[in-house]
Amino acid sequence: MILFSRLTVLGPATVAFLLFGLFVCMACGVTFAVVPLICPHAVGSVSGIVGAGGNLGAVLAAMLFKSESLSGSTAFLVLGGAVVATSFSTLLLRFREAESPGAPMGPIPVPISAD
């Protein structure tokens, strides 16, 4: 996105924007693939929070482009900087070992005859 904000020729700018879009799609897939690892018993709740965070980011990005004090290329530069900062913040994530949702919790009960 930062590269895209600085390009002035249509061809390379198009390639940079398409590559950024491809990486964004892959990042969305990875984000929702990690959701079950956060809290296996509340996948729906965590998915809702992740989706809400995406919507918040979209609203904040749109506010950049509505600002009269920023040009379009400066808004893309700021947006690219925000993407870089949040990407590096994911290195701080740590997951604790959790039980697999399909793993048995204890000994399997054996049916006993009533005879």
The angle that helices 43-66 and 72-89 make with each other, rounded to 10 degrees, is: 150
Q: Establish if 107 belongs to a structural domain.
A: no
pTM (predicted TM-score): 0.66
Q: Beta-carbon neighbour count of residue 2 at 10 Å? A: 15
At residue 105, the pLDDT reads 55
Q: Establish if 105 belongs to a structural domain.
A: no
Q: Establish if 101 belongs to a structural domain.
A: no
Q: Establish if 61 belongs to a structural domain.
A: yes
Distance between CA atoms of 9 and 80, rounded to whole angstroms?
19
Q: Establish if 97 belongs to a structural domain.
A: no
Which range marks the domain in which residue 15 is found? 2-91
Six-digit token string for 96: 């604790």
Distance between CA atoms of 99 and 82, rounded to whole angstroms?
34
**Per-residue pLDDT tens for 20-70?**
999 988 988 888 888 887 778 888 888 888 889 889 989 999 999 998 999
Number of domains in the chain: 1
Q: Establish if 76 belongs to a structural domain.
A: yes
88 Cβ contact partners less than 8 Å away, ≥ 6 residues apart: none
